[in-house]
Structure 1
Amino acid sequence: MELSAPAPLQRVDPAMLRPIDHILLRGDPARLALDGRSGSYSFAELEDTLGRLAGWLAGFGLGQGARVASWIAKGPVAALMPLAAPRAGLVHVPVNPLLKHAQVAHILADSGARLLIGTAARLDTLGAGDVPPDCQLHREDDAACAMSGGPTLGPSQAAPDDLAAILYTSGSTGRPKGVMLSHANLWLGAVAVADYLGMDSDDRTACVLPFSFDYGQNQLFSTWVAGGCVYPLDYLTPRDVMKLVDRRDITTLAGVPPLWVQLAELDWPAEVAAKLKRLTNSGGALTRPLVAKLRALFPQADIYPMYGLTEAFRSTYLPPALVDSHPDSMGRAIPFAEIMVVRADGSITDDDEPGELVHCGPLVAQGYWNDAPRTAERFRPAPPASIYGGMAVWSGDTVRRDADGLLFFVGRDDAMIKSAGNRISPTEIEEAAVAVPGVAEAVALGVKDDRLGQAVLLLIRADPAIVPSVAAHLKSELPNFMQPRDILVLDAFPRNPNGKIDRVALTKDYAA
């Protein structure tokens, strides 16, 4: 089939930019904006509720730019915190609900959070030393109560470049790092996604992804900027998702490959499947067999494969019309993104020549919070050929661009493990393993898994008898998605000429 011409690169008209907390003002005040187990809200009602939550946050007197973390279940509080904190002049730090006390302690300390709002059960898991001395703890119920009455705060006058959020994402080494997102980053991301998905006020989005992810948070923003309604869901089983689609006439569902695998195994009534208009995927590639299953189950739905990185939100998407003919492609740049494939010297590659994907333009984040060295590694001046210029994200991912301008993923340069849409730091798993007495060394690798994309394989140098103790320790200290599928004991690890563990050799022997 003939490929459509690439969309023109979109310049940003400053007049279109708004503080992210203005997003609810875009919708029809009388239309439904949020619905779920905790009640329903029109756009007008949700805007009023947002004002009260922001007023409550402002009442703590934390000071402009102070960080406020949330570790809560999906619902009105979780949906409004990304807007309420910036409206109060604060910076929101969402915490993945699956994390455990050690990861939360790192995020609180690294961000310098002055306030943590969490569910009672989660706050009770925090031990001595997990919470910084100047960080207050408040239960989610306190925030929910404040939203029903109390002082209100009107729309902010934040500047486009003002910091609005810090989203923590794992790197290939060390602890998770906080990506700094401005009001403009969040606003333009919402407008871009709503635009290329063709969303409007009749759309109803099932929000099944965690709001701590940029992809999950954008479920809210892109729907609201289009005037549609969101339905937050903390699902227990894939069948819960199917029931929500049926009960609420869901039109839009965002997921990661493991969720699509599970949903494709269900027996979908034709009339329920027909309600979905679009399926969006990120956090890993869709396989050809999975695309075929989704096509058969949801013949009326458009499929949107997407590629992104938290440091620049979203980079590319593949138009639904090209999914069948080019199922392995990452597509082309989304609106407001300039995507380049460059050589090591920054020059543009030829067609089909592998190179590094570099993302330029206004979706590029402001760097890593309190981490100048790692910021300098990833955020560097744009290549000379860039139209936008300024700072760019050098992804570390190798891709190629064909003669039609479509991009194809070649490989990941770092050691990240990507499992079920989660970016996992091998170092974090290894540090937890060697904390067990008797474990001399540990290496975590990603191995191919048909359901997860990658599973974790943990190699340790230790007495085989302590494997159960290692497994038990990891279960107590790490979230479920970081748990190794297998733990293997080696007598020795291979070394490179510098005396370091030879990860390349281990990957070849155990993860190829």
Structure 2
Amino acid sequence: MVAVDETPRRIDHVLMGDGSAPALVDRAGVLTYADAEEQVGRLAGWLAGQRLAGQGLAAGDRVATWLPKTREACLMPLAAARAGLIHVPVNPLLKRAQVAHILADSGARLLLTQPARAATLEPQDVAQVAVHHAAGVGDNLPRSGGDTSALAAILYTSGSTGRPKGVMLSHANLWLGANSVAHYLRLAADDVVLGVLPLSFDYGQNQLFSTWLAGASVAPLDYLTPRDVVKAVERVGATTLAGVPPLWVQLLETDWPDAAANRLRRLTNSGGALTIRMVRALRQRFPEADLYPMYGLTEAFRSTFLDPALVDFHPESIGQEIPHAEVMIVDATGARAAVGEPGELVHAGPLVAQGYWQDPERTAQRFRPAPAFSQYGGTAVWSGDSAILEKNGLLRFVGRDDEMIKSAGNRISPGELEEAVMAGGEAAEAVAVGVPDTRLGQAVVLVLRGDQARESGLRDRLRRDLPNFMQPARFHWLQTLPRNANGKLDRAAIRAFVHDQNGERTTLAQDPKE
């Protein structure tokens, strides 16, 4: 088992397995640790040799990938770091508007993508970006040295309002996150981790790093149906599967050969809360697997996990802090909340990210000095989420203050969606709301003021402009939208209306965010 180690390293040192052991297993075959190390070095050499506008890439320049789970997509986080560059992975589900924003906001100088994806971008989107459809081979660069606090990646995540924001992660953030997860999951060299989550998410990217740090092998998978996941578990002999609640719902509805189901040693969940019913169903379907419920924040990677031995007795708990994390429940006065009393969940320690890329205002709102009683001190992430420390020492999630919509494992910014709706002029006002949905976790509902006769055109445009996971399930057209005393849209009243229309008398679904 991987030991807890407080000493950070550069993330391109993470290939820790035996040279002849499999590091990556995909449809192209097996890539050993020795081969992966060489390919990372040569990919880094190719990056270092790029000449853009007559100049080479400089240390700290951003390079983006917009790819499915190809070998290049898996190795680029290490290669960019080795070349002294900052990697910007772009979710392959995103479409032109979102990708253009990320390229412009990050100031990416190079984009590695596929021809069909590149063809969707407008000339102005890549005016300052060198677009490559394949990576080349350069000199084999050795492992990098230097400051582990230097930036290694920018991961874009939606906020509760506005466009996606880039979370800045250092080598130390990534390395210690991998060390923490590899330790508490008890990953071993004979494990095979099936990587079904997008590599643009910290949860998905960490599947690579924690697996490699443990000397195990990872099998990246792009899937269309739940049955594809079942077949992949059988094909690669997977022992570990990470998912989000909507995926577990689908997998529980799919037939599993007993041999495949019993092969899994561990299931890990984040990006939303598991219901008690789902916990029991997963325990029954995968009787040999340990179940690890987890709670995380992109701004601090991961905060808590629940020991599998406690899952049956405390299925509603988010557990205790992970290694390298200090998780505190803080009351309104800034003091430690009493046991059993709700307060804001605050995360301190070396997993805390470096802030939001070129966004000091939002950084100052979320990244603030740790409470006076913090052991780590320094900067902490103030989550905005409410939680309770129970008498048994476990944490329980209570609610969330923001308005993020969590659908099919994706975090959707209402502000970004509303901006896209308003861009076409079909509606005069728009509010996006998430409602509980059995399969998706939450479904997107739009409440609009405008001409309902234009709904068909609006639907068509959104299908062209937005990824599938952002598509609204329902539209409600009203003559007026409620406002508060300040003249602003009364979002609480609008949410209440939507939930009444949905046949509910409850608040928004409470599911922890990744």
TM-score (norm 1): 0.95
1:89 aligned to which of 81, 84, 108 = 84
Matched residue, 1:135? 129
How big is the shift at 1:269?
1.2
The 3-state SS of whatever aligns with 2:153 is strand
Q: Is the 8 A contact 2:96 2:465 kept in 1?
A: yes
- 1:74 equivalent in alignment to 2:69: yes
Structure 1 CA distance for aligned equivalents of residues 8 and 400 of structure 2: 34
Matched, 1:391 2:379: yes
- Report the equivalent of 2:95: 100
> In structure 1, what is the equivalent of residue 260 of structure 2?
272
Offset at residue 12 of structure 1 (A): 6.1
Assess, with a 3 A threshold, how the Cα gap between structure 1 residues 250 and 438 changes in structure 2: closer, same or farther: closer
From 331, 334, 337, the equivalent of 2:319 is 331
Cα separation, 2, equivalents of 1:52 and 1:457: 47
Q: Matches of 2:392 and 2:276 in 1, distance apart?
A: 21
Any idea what SS the aligned residue of 2:492 has? helix
Determine the C-alpha separation between the residues in 1 that align with 2:73 and 2:28: 12
What's the CA shift for 1:160? 1.3
How do 1:202-213 residues align onto structure 2 when only pairs under 5 Å count? 202-213=190-201
Contact 1:38–1:75 (CA under 8 A) maintained in structure 2? no
Distance in 2 (CA, whole Å) between partners of 1:343 and 1:84 is: 43
Partner of 1:56: 46
Q: For residues 118-133 of structure 1, what are the structure 2 equivalents within 5 Å?
A: 118-131=113-126, 133=127
Deviates more, 1:160-169 or 1:404-413: 404-413
SS of equivalent residue, structure 1 residue 461: strand
Q: Please tell me whether the aligned partners of residues 242 and 267 of structure 2 are also in contact (alpha carbons under 8 angstroms).
A: yes
Aligned residue identity for 1:111: S
SS of match in other structure, 1:364: coil
- The counterpart of 1:348, out of the listed 324, 333, 336, is 336
SS at match of 1:186: helix
Write the distance in 1 (CA, Å) between the matches of 2:320 and 2:408: 24
SS of residue matched to 2:350: coil
User: 2:49 & 2:391 partners in 1: Cα distance?
Assistant: 57
Q: Distance in 1 between matches of 2:257 and 2:296?
A: 32
**Matching of residue 20 in structure 1 with residue 11 in structure 2:** yes
Partner of 2:511: none
Counterparts of 2:4 and 2:131, CA distance in 1: 42
Instruction: Confirm or deny: 8 A CA contact 2:4 2:180 kept in the other structure.
Output: no
Q: Which segment drifts farther, 120-129 or 393-402?
A: 120-129
**What is the SS of the residue equivalent to 2:462?**
helix
Q: Percent of pairs identical after alignment?
A: 62
CA apart distance, 1:438 = 3.4
The amino acid that maps onto 2:336 is: I
Which residue of 1 is the match for residue 243 of structure 2?
255
Q: Which amino acid aligns with 2:31?
A: Y
Deviation at residue 45 of structure 1 after TM alignment: 0.7
Unpaired runs of at least 5, structure 2: 51-55, 500-505, 507-514
Cross-structure match for 2:37 = 47
Alignment partner, residue 218 of structure 1:
206
Contact 1:38 1:76 in 2 (8 A): no
TM-fit CA distance, 1:451 = 1.5
Give the alignment partner of residue 416 of structure 1, picking from 384, 392, 404. 404
The residue type paired with residue 183 of structure 1 is H
Mapped to 1, the partners of 2:409 and 2:333 lie a distance apart of: 32
- Matched AA of 1:362: P
User: The residue matched to 1:443 in structure 2 has which SS?
Assistant: strand
**Counterpart-to-counterpart distance in 1, 2:120 and 2:10:** 35
Match among 104, 109, 115 for residue 110 of structure 2: 115
> Secondary structure of 2:328's partner?
strand
Assess if the C-alpha contact under 8 Å between 2:300 and 2:351 holds in 1.
yes
Is the 2:25–2:236 Cα contact (8 Å) retained in structure 1? no
Q: Which residue is equivalent to 2:185?
A: 197
Superposed CA RMSD in Å reads: 1.2
1:502 corresponds in structure 2 to: 490
Task: Confirm or deny: 8 A CA contact 1:399 1:407 kept in the other structure.
Answer: yes
CA apart distance, 1:197 = 0.4
2:28 equivalent in structure 1: 38
Using the alignment, how far apart are the partners of 2:463 and 2:353 within structure 1?
33
Alpha-carbon deviation of 1:119? 1.1
Q: TM-score if structure 2 supplies the norm length?
A: 0.94
Report SS of the residue matched to 1:312: coil
The whole-number CA distance in structure 1 between the counterparts of 2:474 and 2:219 is: 36
Deviations 1:127-183 (A, max 9, x none): 13222x2211111xx21xx2xx54211100031101000000000101000000000
Aligned to 1:304: 292
Matched, 1:188 2:176: yes
Distance 2:146 2:187 in 1: 26
Q: Offset at 1:95?
A: 0.2
Q: Is the 8 A contact 1:73 1:119 kept in 2?
A: no
In 1: Cα distance, 2:239 partner to 2:377 partner: 38
* Cα separation, 2, equivalents of 1:456 and 1:74: 27
Look up the SS of the partner of 1:266 in the other structure: coil
Asked if structure 2 preserves the Cα contact closer than 8 Å seen for 1:20 and 1:184, the reply is yes
- Does the 8 A contact of 1:283 with 1:420 survive in 2? no
Q: Tell me which stretches of 4 or more aligned residues in structure 1 moved more than 3 Å.
A: 10-13
